[in-house]
Structure formats: structure tokens, C-alpha cells
């Protein structure tokens, strides 16, 4: 915990007292005094800002804030979106492994808030590129935090971990549930391991330097803009074209599905809430839970598709059960995901219909 008490008046956090063992000190303490001043006129540095979640966050913040995105465009969910022409946006094409360019971009831009979305994500890509996964996710995050630590006036750094850190059977996993890491040699787990290192590194910067870091652990995010792979986006695209929906395994795998706008509201919440500093949060929709077979059937029903469901052998290690406990975010941030599948799937289908010109 932060070791201070504060009140929020008209959106501004005012610190009333600081305990002797507070981890907030020096330059980070002065930033904390204004940290809850609503998300207006801030300077955001968003790595991976052209990706699925990053681009949705850019749209959420762009009218009220300055944003610099830093992305190597491995993926591009913004395309020719009007946000790319917005006067508040500066888009830098850069790699988080390019230490010099990253450091210079951060130093010159002097952000008040950093959101680090850039990563190799998506299990198919991870399995094909396990070396890049470890390198980009671990070294890229280390580069970012080292550069961020040189800044003055930094109010928040948000890092992305993953629900994969809970392993293959995770029911109502809370933030203090131990991480479970799969067998070495199975490429899929390089992602969970890399994200776990990021998470530890973020907490280490908080403990050692007082950097105002928060970690979010997304649980199966879906929605418009998912240009990388994802089971739900694949189902929706195939259902729109009346192609078979392919399930790997028997379809009994259980997931909780979080619509991207809910995910971004979770990030928005940790960006400004004083309770978020030095903490990790599960961000997911614990009510939108179904088996993969149930998901495929729901997609077919909601889209009115003529697709069939077929079953194939699994090609790599899988998660059998993954449902978050979201009590911590509810208690500390007053945040909860609330868009259900019956609402989120049709909204996502509209996006793909337009994108695929169907
Ligand atoms: N979508 C989910 O369900 C989910 C679940 C758990 C965690 N996450 C995490 O959330 C974050 C965002 O995920 P997303 O779904 O938007 O993924 P995404 O792949 O759509 O976005 C990642 C972005 O990072 C960029 N990028 C990749 N390598 C880079 C590099 N070396 N340098 C600079 N930019 C680079 C890509 O171009 C892309 O725009 C990631 O950290 C991911 O691990 C996502």
C-alpha cells in the first residue's frame, strides 16, 4: 500500500498524511498530489497504441489529452481511423527494443502517464515466435521502465500482464492467488513467463524507486479492433461468412469474456485512482462465462449464421478453466465490467462486417 491518506475534492487528490514507511517519495510524491485530477490535459505515452486495446484507449483519451503512441506497427488497428489525424496525436513508429529511440521519445515528450501495451500477444503468434515473445515482452518492458525512471512529474505507469499467469485451471483467481507456470519447452508458456517478469519488474520499480506503477491482468478481451488472433473474433468472422467454426478439443474449455470498452474503462480507472498505485488488478467480466462450445453456439445464434461447428485436435497447450475474481477492482476502484456477450458479440460483428465488406 502507498502509506498515505488522502481525500479527493473536485477530482483533485489532496494528501492529508504520509506514514513514516510510505513508499512515495521525492518527485513521485509531488506527482501523486495531483494524480486524481481527472483525465484532462495529460500527456500520455502509449506503447502499442496502434494495437487492439491501445487503439481503443487512444480513442477514449484523445479529445481531452495529448497522446504519443510508440508502436512498430507489427499490428495496426487504427488504420485510417480519424484518430490518426487528430491534432492531439503524435504517432511514432518505433520498437521497444530500440533503446535509444525509446529513451529519446520518452525524454523529449515528458509524459505524465505511460501505458505500456506493446507486446507479442495472441497465442498463435507466441507459439510461432517464442524468442521474440520473451525478448520484446521482457527486454522491451525493462527498457521502458528504465527510461520512465528518468522522468520528473510522472503520475502513473500502467503495465499489462495477463490472466495466463494463473495457469491452466484458474477459477475465481484473485490477485493474491499464486502464479502457475506450465512446463518448460511448451512455447505457449513463454508468454505467461514473460508477462510475469514484467509484472514483477513493475512492482520492483514501485518498491525500489516509488514509481507509481499499476499492473492490469486482462481476462480474454474481445471486440472491435482485434486485428490479431482471438477465438471470439475468429468465430465471428467465420460465422459472418457462413464458414465452419473450428473448435480445438472437445469445446468444454471455460473462459470469461471481457468487451474491449470494459477493458479500457478498467485502464482508465487505474490511470487515475489513487488506490491503484503499487497494485495489480484482474480486469475481466466474471459474469460473461461460457464454454468454447457455448461461445460458438452463441455467436451462430446472435449472428443468424448458417455455420456448422466442427471439432479438431488441439495443436498446443490450452487453458481448461479461466474465470477471474474481480472483487479487488470492485472494492478499491469501484470498477466492474458490465457488457455481456449478448450485447458485445453483435457490436463486434458490426465491426467485422464493415471491415470485411460483408
Ligand atoms: N487482448 C487480450 O485478450 C489480452 C489478454 C491479456 C493480456 N493482453 C495484453 O494487453 C496488451 C495489448 O494487447 P492487444 O490485445 O491490444 O494486442 P495487439 O497485438 O493488438 O497490440 C500490441 C501492439 O504492440 C505493438 N508491438 C508489438 N511488438 C512491438 C515492439 N517490439 N515495439 C513496439 N510495438 C510493438 C503491435 O504493433 C501492436 O500494435 C498486451 O501487452 C497484451 O499482452 C491482452
- Higher-pLDDT residue of 131 and 36 is 131
* Predicted confidence band of residue 351 (pLDDT cuts 50, 70, 90): very high
Contact 271, 264 (CB under 8 A): no
pLDDT at residue number 1: 45
289 pLDDT exceeds 50? Answer: yes
Contact 23, 207 (CB under 8 A): yes
User: What contacts 24+ positions apart, CB below 8 Å, involve 181-186?
Assistant: 182/317, 183/317, 186/316, 186/317
Mutate to test the pocket of ligand 1, among 53, 124, 160 (most ligand atoms within 8 A of CB): 53
What average pLDDT does the structure give for the chain?
A: 92
Q: Cell for 189?
A: 508458456
Is this structure's pTM higher than 0.75? Answer: yes
How close is the Cα of 101 to the center of ligand 1, in Å? 19
Q: Cell for 4?
A: 498515505
Closest C-alpha to ligand 1, atom 21: 51
User: Is any ligand 1 atom within 6 A of the Cβ of residue 54?
Assistant: yes
Q: Is residue 9 part of a domain?
A: no
How far is residue 275's CA from residue 8's CA, in Å, rounded to a whole number?
A: 12
Q: Is residue 124 part of a domain?
A: yes
Helices (H), 42-88: 52-61
pLDDT at residue number 34: 46
Q: Is residue 7 part of a domain?
A: no
Query: Of ligand 1's atoms, which has the minimum distance to the CA of residue 75?
Result: 37
Query: Of ligand 1's atoms, which has the minimum distance to the CA of residue 132?
Result: 31
User: Is any ligand 1 atom within 6 A of the Cβ of residue 71?
Assistant: yes
User: Is any ligand 1 atom within 6 A of the Cβ of residue 157?
Assistant: no
Cα 247 → chain centroid: 25
Query: Of ligand 1's atoms, which has the minimum distance to the CA of residue 125?
Result: 19
Angle between helices 99-109 and 140-148 in degrees, nearest 10: 30
User: Is any ligand 1 atom within 6 A of the Cβ of residue 92?
Assistant: no
Q: Is residue 107 part of a domain?
A: yes
Q: Cell for 352?
A: 467485422
Residue-wise pLDDT for 6-28, tens only, equals: 655 555 555 555 555 555 555 67
User: Is any ligand 1 atom within 6 A of the Cβ of residue 7?
Assistant: no
Instruction: Point out which residues pair with 180 in neighbouring strands.
Output: none
* Predicted confidence band of residue 35 (pLDDT cuts 50, 70, 90): very low
Mutate to test the pocket of ligand 1, among 105, 118, 234 (most ligand atoms within 8 A of CB): 118
Place of cell 458479440: 345
Closest CA to 198 of 265, 114, 134, 132: 134
Count of helix runs (H) and strand runs (E) in the chain: 12, 17
How close is the Cα of 121 to the center of ligand 1, in Å? 5
pLDDT at residue number 48: 98
How close is the Cα of 108 to the center of ligand 1, in Å? 24
State which residues form the domain around 195.
38-219+260-285+322-338
How close is the Cα of 54 to the center of ligand 1, in Å? 8
Q: Is residue 209 part of a domain?
A: yes
User: Is any ligand 1 atom within 6 A of the Cβ of residue 121?
Assistant: yes
Closest CA to 156 of 59, 66, 39, 52: 39
- The pairing of beta strand 4-9 with beta strand 12-18: antiparallel
Q: Count of domains in the chain?
A: 1
Helices (H), 182-305: 189-209, 231-240, 260-272, 292-303
355: Cα within 13 Å, side-chain hemisphere: 20
Q: Is residue 231 part of a domain?
A: no
The CATH number of the domain holding residue 68 is 3.40.50.720
Q: Is residue 138 part of a domain?
A: yes
How close is the Cα of 48 to the center of ligand 1, in Å? 6
Cα 334 → chain centroid: 18
Cα 252 → chain centroid: 26
- The lowest-confidence range among 5-9, 141-145, 309-313 is 5-9
Contact 323, 256 (CB under 8 A): yes
* Predicted confidence band of residue 32 (pLDDT cuts 50, 70, 90): low
Contact 312, 248 (CB under 8 A): yes
User: Is any ligand 1 atom within 6 A of the Cβ of residue 95?
Assistant: yes
How close is the Cα of 117 to the center of ligand 1, in Å? 5
Q: Is residue 12 part of a domain?
A: no
Amino acid at each position: 500500500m502507498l502509506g498515505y491518506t488522502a481525500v479527493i475534492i473536485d477530482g483533485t487528490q489532496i494528501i492529508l498524511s504520509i506514514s513514516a514507511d510510505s513508499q512515495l517519495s521525492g518527485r513521485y510524491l509531488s506527482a501523486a498530489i495531483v494524480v486524481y485530477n481527472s483525465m484532462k490535459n495529460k500527456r500520455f505515452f502509449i506503447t502499442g497504441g496502434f494495437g487492439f486495446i491501445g487503439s481503443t484507449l487512444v480513442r477514449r483519451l484523445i479529445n481531452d489529452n495529448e497522446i504519443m503512441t510508440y508502436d512498430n506497427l507489427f499490428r495496426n488497428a487504427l488504420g485510417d481511423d480519424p484518430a490518426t489525424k487528430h491534432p492531439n496525436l503524435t504517432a511514432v513508429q518505433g520498437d521497444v527494443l530500440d533503446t535509444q529511440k525509446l529513451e529519446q521519445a520518452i525524454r523529449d515528450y515528458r509524459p505524465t502517464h505511460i501505458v505500456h501495451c506493446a507486446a507479442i500477444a495472441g497465442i498463435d503468434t507466441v507459439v510461432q515466435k517464442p524468442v521474440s515473445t520473451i525478448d520484446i515482452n521482457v527486454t522491451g518492458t525493462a527498457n521502458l521502465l528504465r527510461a520512465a525512471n528518468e522522468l520528473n512529474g510522472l503520475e502513473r505507469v500502467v503495465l499489462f500482464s495477463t490472466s495466463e499467469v494463473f495457469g491452466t485451471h484458474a477459477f475465481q483467481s484473485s490477485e493474491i492467488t499464486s502464479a502457475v507456470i506450465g512446463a518448460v519447452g511448451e512455447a505457449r508458456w513463454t508468454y505467461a513467463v514473460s508477462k510475469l517478469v514484467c509484472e514483477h519488474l513493475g512492482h520492483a520499480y514501485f518498491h525500489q524507486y516509488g514509481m507509481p506503477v499499476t499492473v492490469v491482468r486482462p481476462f480474454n478481451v474481445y471486440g472491435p479492433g482485434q486485428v490479431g488472433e482471438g477465438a471470439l473474433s475468429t468465430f465471428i468472422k467465420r460465422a459472418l461468412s457462413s464458414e465452419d467454426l473450428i473448435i480445438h478439443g472437445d469445446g468444454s474449455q471455460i473462459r470469461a469474456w471481457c468487451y474491449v470498452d470494459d477493458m479500457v474503462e478498467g485502464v482508465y480507472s487505474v490511470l487515475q485512482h489513487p488506490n491503484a498505485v503499487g497494485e495489480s488488478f484482474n480486469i475481466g467480466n466474471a459474469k460473461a462465462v461460457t464454454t468454447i462450445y457455448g461461445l460458438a453456439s452463441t455467436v451462430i445464434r446472435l449472428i443468424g449464421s448458417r455455420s456448422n461447428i466442427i471439432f479438431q485436435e488441439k495443436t498446443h497447450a490450452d487453458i481448461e478453466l479461466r474465470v477471474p475474481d474481480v472483487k479487488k477492482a470492485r472494492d478499491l476502484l469501484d470498477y466492474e465490467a458490465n457488457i455481456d456477450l449478448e450485447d458485445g458479440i453483435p457490436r463486434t460483428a458490426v465491426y467485422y462486417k464493415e471491415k470485411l465488406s460483408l
